[in-house]
Protein backbone atom coordinates (compact mmCIF):
# COMPACT_ATOMS: atom_id res chain seq x y z
CA UNK A 1 0.00 0.00 0.00
CA UNK A 2 2.89 2.28 0.71
CA UNK A 3 4.17 1.64 -2.81
CA UNK A 4 0.75 2.40 -4.22
CA UNK A 5 0.65 5.72 -2.39
CA UNK A 6 4.16 6.61 -3.55
CA UNK A 7 3.36 5.63 -7.13
CA UNK A 8 0.20 7.69 -7.04
CA UNK A 9 2.18 10.66 -5.77
CA UNK A 10 4.63 10.35 -8.63
CA UNK A 11 1.94 9.98 -11.30
CA UNK A 12 0.09 12.93 -9.80
CA UNK A 13 3.24 15.06 -9.96
CA UNK A 14 3.81 14.19 -13.63
CA UNK A 15 0.19 14.87 -14.53
CA UNK A 16 0.08 18.15 -12.62
CA UNK A 17 3.07 19.42 -14.55
CA UNK A 18 1.01 19.20 -17.75
CA UNK A 19 -2.03 21.05 -16.42
CA UNK A 20 -2.54 24.48 -17.98
CA UNK A 21 -6.16 25.39 -17.31
CA UNK A 22 -8.47 25.61 -14.36
CA UNK A 23 -10.76 22.92 -15.84
CA UNK A 24 -7.88 20.50 -16.25
CA UNK A 25 -6.83 21.21 -12.67
CA UNK A 26 -10.32 20.45 -11.34
CA UNK A 27 -10.47 17.20 -13.35
CA UNK A 28 -7.16 16.15 -11.87
CA UNK A 29 -8.36 16.92 -8.36
CA UNK A 30 -11.46 14.78 -8.84
CA UNK A 31 -9.43 11.96 -10.36
CA UNK A 32 -7.04 11.76 -7.40
CA UNK A 33 -8.83 13.23 -4.38
CA UNK A 34 -12.49 12.92 -5.33
CA UNK A 35 -15.00 10.60 -3.62
CA UNK A 36 -14.28 7.90 -6.17
CA UNK A 37 -10.72 9.03 -6.72
CA UNK A 38 -7.47 7.10 -6.57
CA UNK A 39 -6.73 7.95 -2.94
CA UNK A 40 -10.09 6.65 -1.78
CA UNK A 41 -9.58 3.46 -3.77
CA UNK A 42 -6.22 2.87 -2.10
CA UNK A 43 -7.62 3.66 1.36
CA UNK A 44 -10.31 1.01 0.89
CA UNK A 45 -7.53 -1.56 1.48
CA UNK A 46 -6.93 -0.26 5.03
CA UNK A 47 -9.18 -3.01 6.38
CA UNK A 48 -6.71 -5.62 5.28
CA UNK A 49 -3.88 -4.12 7.34
CA UNK A 50 -2.78 -5.20 10.78
CA UNK A 51 -3.61 -3.07 13.82
CA UNK A 52 0.02 -1.80 14.00
CA UNK A 53 0.26 -0.95 10.33
CA UNK A 54 -3.01 0.90 10.14
CA UNK A 55 -2.08 4.17 11.98
CA UNK A 56 1.25 4.30 10.13
CA UNK A 57 -0.47 3.97 6.77
CA UNK A 58 -3.20 6.34 7.87
CA UNK A 59 -0.64 8.99 8.65
CA UNK A 60 1.21 8.42 5.39
CA UNK A 61 -2.04 8.64 3.45
CA UNK A 62 -2.83 11.94 5.18
CA UNK A 63 0.59 13.31 4.36
CA UNK A 64 0.14 12.37 0.73
CA UNK A 65 -3.33 13.97 0.67
CA UNK A 66 -1.96 17.18 2.15
CA UNK A 67 0.88 17.20 -0.33
CA UNK A 68 -1.51 16.75 -3.23
CA UNK A 69 -3.81 19.45 -1.91
CA UNK A 70 -1.06 21.99 -1.44
CA UNK A 71 0.33 21.17 -4.91
CA UNK A 72 -3.11 21.77 -6.39
CA UNK A 73 -3.42 25.08 -4.53
CA UNK A 74 0.01 26.12 -5.69
CA UNK A 75 -0.73 25.24 -9.26
CA UNK A 76 -4.03 27.09 -9.10
CA UNK A 77 -2.17 30.26 -8.16
CA UNK A 78 0.21 29.75 -11.04
CA UNK A 79 -2.72 29.49 -13.42
CA UNK A 80 -4.18 32.69 -11.97
CA UNK A 81 -0.93 34.53 -12.53
CA UNK A 82 -0.72 33.16 -16.06
CA UNK A 83 -4.26 34.28 -16.89
CA UNK A 84 -3.65 37.77 -15.55
CA UNK A 85 -0.47 38.01 -17.60
CA UNK A 86 -2.35 36.87 -20.72
CA UNK A 87 -5.15 39.36 -20.16
CA UNK A 88 -2.73 42.20 -19.63
CA UNK A 89 -1.04 41.27 -22.86
CA UNK A 90 -4.31 40.98 -24.79
CA UNK A 91 -5.78 44.21 -23.45
CA UNK A 92 -2.68 46.24 -23.87
CA UNK A 93 -3.36 49.57 -25.57
CA UNK A 94 -0.90 50.66 -28.17
CA UNK A 95 -0.95 54.41 -27.80
CA UNK A 96 1.28 54.79 -30.83
CA UNK A 97 -1.37 53.54 -33.31
CA UNK A 98 -2.67 56.50 -35.34
CA UNK A 99 -6.25 57.47 -34.38
CA UNK A 100 -9.30 57.11 -36.61
CA UNK A 101 -10.35 60.40 -38.13
CA UNK A 102 -14.07 61.08 -37.95
CA UNK A 103 -15.35 63.55 -40.51
CA UNK A 104 -17.61 66.08 -38.87
CA UNK A 105 -20.63 67.11 -40.93
CA UNK A 106 -21.90 70.66 -41.14
CA UNK A 107 -25.11 72.52 -41.78
CA UNK A 108 -26.77 72.60 -45.18
CA UNK A 109 -26.91 76.14 -46.66
CA UNK A 110 -30.71 76.16 -46.23
CA UNK A 111 -30.26 75.37 -42.54
CA UNK A 112 -27.59 78.04 -42.15
CA UNK A 113 -29.94 80.72 -43.48
CA UNK A 114 -32.99 79.33 -41.66
CA UNK A 115 -31.08 79.41 -38.37
CA UNK A 116 -30.16 83.05 -39.03
CA UNK A 117 -33.78 83.92 -39.80
CA UNK A 118 -34.97 82.15 -36.65
CA UNK A 119 -32.39 83.88 -34.50
CA UNK A 120 -33.36 87.32 -35.80
CA UNK A 121 -37.08 86.80 -35.12
CA UNK A 122 -36.56 85.03 -31.81
CA UNK A 123 -34.51 88.09 -30.84
CA UNK A 124 -37.55 90.26 -31.59
CA UNK A 125 -39.74 88.17 -29.27
CA UNK A 126 -41.28 85.81 -31.82
CA UNK A 127 -41.76 82.15 -31.06
CA UNK A 128 -41.82 79.23 -33.48
CA UNK A 129 -45.04 77.49 -34.52
CA UNK A 130 -45.51 74.45 -36.73
CA UNK A 131 -48.30 73.00 -38.83
CA UNK A 132 -48.90 69.90 -40.95
CA UNK A 133 -47.57 69.54 -44.48
CA UNK A 134 -50.56 67.36 -45.35
CA UNK A 135 -53.25 69.95 -44.87
CA UNK A 136 -56.97 70.43 -45.22
CA UNK A 137 -58.23 72.50 -48.14
CA UNK A 138 -59.97 74.58 -45.49
CA UNK A 139 -56.76 75.79 -43.84
CA UNK A 140 -54.68 76.08 -47.00
CA UNK A 141 -57.29 77.99 -49.01
CA UNK A 142 -60.80 78.42 -47.68
CA UNK A 143 -59.99 80.02 -44.30
CA UNK A 144 -57.43 82.25 -46.04
CA UNK A 145 -60.19 83.80 -48.11
CA UNK A 146 -59.45 81.71 -51.20
CA UNK A 147 -62.79 80.04 -52.00
CA UNK A 148 -63.13 77.01 -54.29
CA UNK A 149 -62.76 77.96 -57.96
CA UNK A 150 -61.11 81.27 -57.11
CA UNK A 151 -58.60 82.14 -59.88
CA UNK A 152 -55.80 82.71 -57.36
CA UNK A 153 -55.78 78.95 -56.77
CA UNK A 154 -54.39 78.54 -60.29
CA UNK A 155 -50.93 79.75 -59.30
CA UNK A 156 -50.89 77.35 -56.38
CA UNK A 157 -51.79 74.04 -57.96
CA UNK A 158 -50.74 71.22 -55.70
CA UNK A 159 -50.92 67.49 -55.00
CA UNK A 160 -54.28 66.27 -53.76
CA UNK A 161 -54.69 63.32 -51.44
CA UNK A 162 -58.46 63.59 -51.51
CA UNK A 163 -60.67 66.43 -52.69
CA UNK A 164 -60.27 68.12 -49.31
CA UNK A 165 -56.80 67.00 -48.25
CA UNK A 166 -53.71 68.27 -50.02
CA UNK A 167 -50.03 69.04 -49.64
CA UNK A 168 -49.97 72.63 -48.44
CA UNK A 169 -48.91 75.19 -51.02
CA UNK A 170 -47.82 77.76 -48.45
CA UNK A 171 -47.12 78.09 -44.73
CA UNK A 172 -50.03 80.54 -44.37
CA UNK A 173 -52.45 77.86 -43.06
CA UNK A 174 -50.38 77.96 -39.86
CA UNK A 175 -51.75 81.50 -39.35
CA UNK A 176 -55.26 80.10 -38.92
CA UNK A 177 -54.13 77.16 -36.81
CA UNK A 178 -52.25 79.47 -34.43
CA UNK A 179 -55.12 81.97 -34.14
CA UNK A 180 -57.54 79.13 -33.37
CA UNK A 181 -55.37 78.00 -30.48
CA UNK A 182 -53.87 81.19 -29.14
CA UNK A 183 -55.38 84.49 -28.06
CA UNK A 184 -53.55 87.72 -29.00
CA UNK A 185 -50.91 88.99 -28.56
CA UNK A 186 -49.54 86.62 -31.20
CA UNK A 187 -46.01 86.83 -32.53
CA UNK A 188 -44.89 83.71 -34.36
CA UNK A 189 -42.82 82.53 -37.27
CA UNK A 190 -43.43 79.16 -38.87
CA UNK A 191 -40.80 77.61 -41.12
CA UNK A 192 -41.64 74.52 -43.16
CA UNK A 193 -41.89 72.65 -46.42
CA UNK A 194 -44.52 73.55 -48.99
CA UNK A 195 -45.50 71.93 -52.29
CA UNK A 196 -46.63 73.04 -55.70
CA UNK A 197 -47.23 71.19 -58.89
CA UNK A 198 -44.31 72.85 -60.70
CA UNK A 199 -41.72 71.29 -62.99
CA UNK A 200 -38.13 71.42 -61.77
CA UNK A 201 -35.89 74.11 -63.25
CA UNK A 202 -33.26 76.59 -62.04
CA UNK A 203 -35.83 78.57 -60.05
CA UNK A 204 -38.69 76.10 -59.47
CA UNK A 205 -39.15 72.96 -57.43
CA UNK A 206 -42.31 71.02 -56.49
CA UNK A 207 -41.03 71.13 -52.91
CA UNK A 208 -39.56 74.21 -51.28
CA UNK A 209 -39.43 75.98 -47.95
CA UNK A 210 -41.18 79.04 -46.63
CA UNK A 211 -41.08 80.95 -43.39
CA UNK A 212 -44.42 82.41 -42.36
CA UNK A 213 -44.74 85.26 -39.90
CA UNK A 214 -47.79 86.47 -38.00
CA UNK A 215 -48.28 89.31 -35.52
CA UNK A 216 -51.70 90.04 -34.02
CA UNK A 217 -52.37 92.52 -31.24
CA UNK A 218 -54.34 95.67 -30.50
CA UNK A 219 -53.33 98.62 -32.68
CA UNK A 220 -50.94 96.85 -35.08
CA UNK A 221 -50.42 98.96 -38.21
CA UNK A 222 -48.58 98.89 -41.52
CA UNK A 223 -45.87 100.88 -39.72
CA UNK A 224 -45.21 97.90 -37.47
CA UNK A 225 -45.01 95.65 -40.52
CA UNK A 226 -42.49 97.94 -42.19
CA UNK A 227 -40.41 98.50 -39.05
CA UNK A 228 -40.26 94.83 -38.21
CA UNK A 229 -39.31 93.67 -41.70
CA UNK A 230 -36.82 96.50 -42.18
CA UNK A 231 -35.09 95.46 -38.95
CA UNK A 232 -35.08 91.89 -40.23
CA UNK A 233 -33.58 92.87 -43.61
CA UNK A 234 -30.84 94.94 -41.95
CA UNK A 235 -29.92 92.12 -39.59
CA UNK A 236 -29.79 89.63 -42.46
CA UNK A 237 -28.06 91.69 -45.15
CA UNK A 238 -26.31 94.47 -43.24
CA UNK A 239 -27.13 97.86 -41.70
CA UNK A 240 -26.98 99.72 -45.03
CA UNK A 241 -29.80 97.65 -46.50
CA UNK A 242 -32.92 99.55 -47.55
CA UNK A 243 -36.33 98.05 -48.14
CA UNK A 244 -39.07 98.98 -50.58
CA UNK A 245 -42.74 98.07 -50.33
CA UNK A 246 -44.47 97.44 -53.65
CA UNK A 247 -48.26 97.14 -53.78
CA UNK A 248 -49.36 93.58 -54.46
CA UNK A 249 -52.36 91.33 -53.99
CA UNK A 250 -52.87 88.40 -51.66
CA UNK A 251 -56.32 87.10 -50.78
CA UNK A 252 -55.55 86.90 -47.07
CA UNK A 253 -53.99 90.33 -46.52
CA UNK A 254 -55.34 93.82 -47.18
CA UNK A 255 -53.48 95.91 -48.06
CA UNK A 256 -50.78 93.62 -49.44
CA UNK A 257 -47.27 94.27 -50.62
CA UNK A 258 -44.12 92.64 -51.79
CA UNK A 259 -40.93 93.70 -50.09
CA UNK A 260 -37.68 94.26 -51.95
CA UNK A 261 -34.28 94.81 -50.39
CA UNK A 262 -31.62 96.99 -51.96
CA UNK A 263 -29.20 94.68 -53.77
CA UNK A 264 -26.57 93.62 -51.27
CA UNK A 265 -24.06 93.05 -54.02
CA UNK A 266 -24.15 96.38 -55.86
CA UNK A 267 -25.85 98.41 -53.17
CA UNK A 268 -28.62 99.39 -55.58
CA UNK A 269 -26.66 100.49 -58.66
CA UNK A 270 -27.72 97.48 -60.70
CA UNK A 271 -25.74 94.30 -61.36
CA UNK A 272 -26.33 90.76 -62.74
CA UNK A 273 -27.46 89.60 -59.29
CA UNK A 274 -30.40 92.02 -59.18
CA UNK A 275 -30.75 91.84 -62.97
CA UNK A 276 -29.87 95.53 -63.21
CA UNK A 277 -32.79 96.55 -60.99
CA UNK A 278 -30.92 97.46 -57.82
CA UNK A 279 -33.65 95.72 -55.84
CA UNK A 280 -34.33 92.10 -54.96
CA UNK A 281 -37.74 90.78 -53.90
CA UNK A 282 -37.53 88.73 -50.72
CA UNK A 283 -41.03 88.33 -49.35
CA UNK A 284 -44.76 88.89 -49.52
CA UNK A 285 -46.62 90.60 -46.70
CA UNK A 286 -49.68 92.57 -45.70
CA UNK A 287 -52.19 93.43 -43.00
CA UNK A 288 -54.18 90.35 -42.02
CA UNK A 289 -57.56 90.45 -43.79
CA UNK A 290 -60.47 90.97 -41.35
CA UNK A 291 -62.14 87.82 -42.74
CA UNK A 292 -59.00 85.83 -41.93
CA UNK A 293 -58.89 87.16 -38.36
CA UNK A 294 -62.55 86.18 -38.01
CA UNK A 295 -61.85 82.70 -39.38
CA UNK A 296 -59.15 82.38 -36.73
CA UNK A 297 -61.66 83.31 -34.03
CA UNK A 298 -60.30 86.82 -33.47
CA UNK A 299 -62.47 89.95 -33.46
CA UNK A 300 -61.20 92.26 -36.26
CA UNK A 301 -62.86 95.25 -34.57
CA UNK A 302 -60.57 94.82 -31.57
CA UNK A 303 -57.41 93.37 -33.05
CA UNK A 304 -55.34 93.85 -36.15
CA UNK A 305 -52.20 92.20 -37.42
CA UNK A 306 -49.68 91.73 -40.16
CA UNK A 307 -48.36 88.62 -41.84
CA UNK A 308 -45.51 87.81 -44.15
CA UNK A 309 -44.15 84.84 -46.04
CA UNK A 310 -40.65 84.43 -47.37
CA UNK A 311 -39.10 81.80 -49.58
CA UNK A 312 -36.13 80.21 -47.89
CA UNK A 313 -34.53 78.93 -51.10
CA UNK A 314 -34.64 82.38 -52.67
CA UNK A 315 -33.12 83.93 -49.59
CA UNK A 316 -30.38 81.28 -49.48
CA UNK A 317 -29.60 81.61 -53.18
CA UNK A 318 -29.09 85.36 -52.83
CA UNK A 319 -27.17 84.98 -49.60
CA UNK A 320 -24.59 82.61 -51.12
CA UNK A 321 -24.94 83.71 -54.77
CA UNK A 322 -26.19 80.30 -55.88
CA UNK A 323 -27.59 80.50 -59.40
CA UNK A 324 -29.44 77.18 -59.62
CA UNK A 325 -32.06 76.02 -57.11
CA UNK A 326 -31.40 72.37 -57.93
CA UNK A 327 -27.97 72.56 -56.30
CA UNK A 328 -29.72 72.86 -52.94
CA UNK A 329 -31.36 69.45 -53.31
CA UNK A 330 -28.86 67.33 -55.20
CA UNK A 331 -26.57 66.80 -52.18
CA UNK A 332 -23.47 66.92 -54.31
CA UNK A 333 -20.52 66.92 -51.90
CA UNK A 334 -18.50 69.19 -54.17
CA UNK A 335 -21.22 71.81 -53.76
CA UNK A 336 -22.06 71.25 -50.09
CA UNK A 337 -18.45 71.23 -48.90
CA UNK A 338 -18.17 74.89 -49.85
CA UNK A 339 -20.32 75.97 -46.91
# residues contacting ligand PHE (CB under 6 A): 10
Within 305-324, the residues that bind ligand PHE by CB under 6 A are 307-309
Please say whether the beta carbons of 174 and 190 come within 8 A: yes
Chain centroid, CA 287 distance in Å: 37
Nearer to ligand PHE, 29 or 196 (CB): 196
Give the interface segment with ligand PHE, choosing from 10-18, 219-227, 262-270, 302-310 (CB under 6 A): 302-310
Pick the binder of ligand PHE from 184, 191, 192, 284 (CB under 6 A).
Answer: 284
Question: What minimum distance in Å lies between the beta carbon of 332 and ligand PHE?
Answer: 28
Under rule CB under 6 A, residue 286 binds ligand PHE: yes
Nearer to ligand PHE, 241 or 256 (CB): 256
Please say whether the beta carbons of 325 and 202 come within 8 A: yes
Nearer to ligand PHE, 110 or 307 (CB): 307
Cis before 266 (ω within 30)? no
> Which residues have C-beta within 8 Å of that of residue 15, sequence separation ≥ 6?
28
Nearer to ligand PHE, 28 or 144 (CB): 144
Chain centroid, CA 303 distance in Å: 39
Question: Which of 21, 17, 18 lies closest to 82 in space, CA to CA?
Answer: 21
Cα separation, 282 vs 311, whole angstroms: 7
Pick the binder of ligand PHE from 158, 253, 295, 304 (CB under 6 A).
Answer: 253
Strands 186-195 and 127-128: parallel
Question: What minimum distance in Å lies between the beta carbon of 212 and ligand PHE?
Answer: 6
Give the interface segment with ligand PHE, choosing from 30-38, 227-235, 267-275, 282-290 (CB under 6 A): 282-290
Question: What minimum distance in Å lies between the beta carbon of 281 and ligand PHE?
Answer: 11
Under rule CB under 6 A, residue 192 binds ligand PHE: no
Other C-beta atoms closer than 10 Å to the C-beta of 116 total 15
Q: Is the dihedral of CA 174, 176, 181, 187 positive or negative?
A: positive
Nearer to ligand PHE, 110 or 229 (CB): 229
Under rule CB under 6 A, residue 262 binds ligand PHE: no
Nearer to ligand PHE, 191 or 286 (CB): 286
Cα separation, 177 vs 130, whole angstroms: 9
Question: Which of 17, 9, 16 lies closest to 39 in space, CA to CA?
Answer: 9
Q: Which residue is nearest to ligand PHE (CB)?
A: 309
Within 159-178, the residues that bind ligand PHE by CB under 6 A are 170, 172
Under rule CB under 6 A, residue 250 binds ligand PHE: yes
Cα separation, 217 vs 300, whole angstroms: 10
**Helix or strand holding residue 190 (H, E):** strand 186-195
- Which positions lie near ligand PHE, rule CB under 6 A? 170, 172, 250, 253, 284-286, 307-309
Amino acid sequence: MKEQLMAMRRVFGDRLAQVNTRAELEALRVEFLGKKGQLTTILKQMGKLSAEERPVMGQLANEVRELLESSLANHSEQINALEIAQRLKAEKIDITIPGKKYKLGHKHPLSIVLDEVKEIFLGMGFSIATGPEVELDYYNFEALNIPKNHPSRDTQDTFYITENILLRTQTSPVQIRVMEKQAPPIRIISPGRVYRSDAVDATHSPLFNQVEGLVVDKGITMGDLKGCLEAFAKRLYGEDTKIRLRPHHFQFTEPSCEIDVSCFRCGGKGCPMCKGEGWIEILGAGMVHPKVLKNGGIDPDVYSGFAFGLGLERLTMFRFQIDDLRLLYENDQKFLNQF
